[in-house]
Structures are given as structure tokens and as C-alpha cells.
Amino acid sequence: MSRLNSVIAALDAGRHVFASFASADPAAAVEFSTAGYDAVVFETEHKPWDALALRDSLQYLLNRRQIFEAGGLAPAVTPLVRIPVNGAEKAQWQAKQALDLGAYGIVWPHITSVDEAYNAVAACRYPRMPDDPRYEPAGLRGDGPNAAARYWGVPNGEYYARSDVWPLDPDGEILVAIMIEDQRGIENLPDILDRVPGIGLVLPGEGDLSQELGVPRQYGHPLVMESKRRILEVCAERGVAVGHPHVSADNAKQVLDDGYRFLMSAPVRSYPALELGRTLTGDT
């Protein structure tokens, strides 16, 4: 069976993924549907958690022409969701609702411990019998697949078979991404990755890291760079992809050279006619 989650397909093949954050808003979803990104992360940590808006955004992200021309069910832009609450708050219900709407993965903010990482993976898995060879982390996701199966374009039975987490299940289509956003999370990251199977992506939280280090939003500060270097080193030793949340034209080459593989960049709006008009008229 061909992959439905193109982000997993790319990471599994050692390729790079280009993504961006977006509000859970249908207008933004339509814009991103043809923007050329591999993935969009609908942002509900610092934007409102609105399940109905998220549902509509997932639907508006689909582009029938793209699907028809591709000849397969995989969406051109894979939708992931960053849920609102920190890892310690567990948030199993929000992960469940996002997955039940059809999201192909969950981004978990502020993961700091093995227990929090275990919960992140377990909340994205259906329960199974203890003698299953992939029993751990023991699934906690409740059963309500109808909308997600319809969104993926598969019968419920096939959805069950394909909706486990990758790379714990090599054929799984659900991506679990954890954000490491403080020194405690960095210190615990080796244990997290060694003891919790099923984490497919690690994202450094530069903003919160910089706040904790006393250099708010100074992403290039040596203290922040050292923290990110440690995350890259731990993940590289274990073959886990690392994302960069603030890729720009100025740092893209360095980001690639450093080894990041999930590259998040914000689209930039331009107003050339307005800017030229201001210049020609002198009316500022």
C-alpha cells in the first residue's frame, strides 16, 4: 500500500520536509493547499482550540484536482496539529479529537520527561492486547474512527490497520512529534528516546528555550545555539529526525548544514503595488 502520510514517507527515506504553522482557519487552509509545502501544522497552542474550525480547515486543505492528478489518496499537503497544552497536562482528549477529525500527526508542546513522552505516544494509539509485540506504549486512544477514515479515504478496518504511530509500526501513518523547550527536557531527551518507542520527530522550542535562558527570542544567541546543538546530537545518535521552527532565507543553508530535516518557514506576504505607490507619491 502506498503511503498516505507524505511526511513519514519523506523522513523514512531520509529526505527533508518543508512545513509551516497555520491557524485552524478555512481561508488559511485554502491558501496552504496550493502553496507547495509538504505539510502544515495547524496551530492551536497559541491560537484558539476550536474543533469545528479545525474540522473545516482539514476539509478545505484537500484539493480535489491535486488528488485526481496524483492518482492516489495521499493529500498533497499533510495536516498535523499542534495541540494547546503542555506535556505534563496529558491532553489525551485533544489528541484524540484531532486524530478523529483526520489529522496525520500530533505535535506535543513542552515534553520534559519519559512519562510525558510515553503519554504522547500512548494517546495516539488504539489499545491492544498485552501479548502484542508492539504493545508499549499501551494505547489510550478512544474508538471513534468514522470521520478520520472518511477523511483518509479508507474503510474503518483499513484505518485501524494503518493508524498506528511510526516508526514503532513501520507501516504506521501517524506521526508523533515532541517539542523540547527547556533544559529539563534536554537533559531527559536521551532517556525519552531510549525508553519511549514511537517518537518520529523532535522539535526544539526556540522561543521558550530562549526565555528560560534569559535571552528572549534571541535565536542565534550562543546559549540557545548550544541547547539546539545538544538536541541535534542526541537525536542524531538515535536516528530521530529534528525539526527547525524558524527557517528563513537568511539561515536556510546553515539549518541544512546543521542536520535539521523538518524545516518550518512562514510564508511572507508582499505588497509590491502598495510599496511602489507609496514611493512614487511620497504619501507614507
Q: What is the pLDDT along the chain (284 residues), one digit of tens a residue?
A: 689 999 999 999 999 999 999 999 999 999 999 999 999 999 999 999 999 999 999 999 998 888 888 888 999 999 999 999 999 999 999 999 999 999 999 999 999 999 999 999 999 999 999 999 999 999 999 999 999 999 999 999 999 999 999 999 999 999 999 999 999 999 999 999 999 999 999 999 999 999 999 999 999 999 999 999 999 999 999 999 999 999 999 999 999 999 999 999 988 888 889 899 989 998 87
- Residue 17: its H or E element: strand 17-23
> How many Cβ atoms are within 10 Å of 74's Cβ, its own excluded?
19
* Nearest alpha-carbon partner for 10 in 21, 19, 22, 20: 19
Predicted pLDDT at 142? 96
Predicted pLDDT at 269? 81
Place of cell 520534559: 112
- Name the packing angle between helices 51-61 and 26-33 (round to 10°): 20
Contact present, 105 and 5 (Cβ < 8 Å): yes
Angstrom distances, CA of residue 43 to CA of 23, 79, 106: 5, 11, 11
Amino acid at 222: P
Cis (ω within 30 of 0) for the bond into 167?
A: yes
Predicted pLDDT at 267? 84
Predicted pLDDT at 238? 98
* Nearest alpha-carbon partner for 118 in 97, 141, 96, 90: 90
Angstrom distances, CA of residue 9 to CA of 4, 102, 136, 146, 245: 8, 18, 23, 24, 20
Place of cell 489525551: 92
14-34 burial string, b = 16+ CB within 10 Å, else e?
Answer: eeebbbbbbbbbbebbeebbe
Amino acid at 203: L
Contact present, 49 and 23 (Cβ < 8 Å): no
Predicted pLDDT at 1? 67
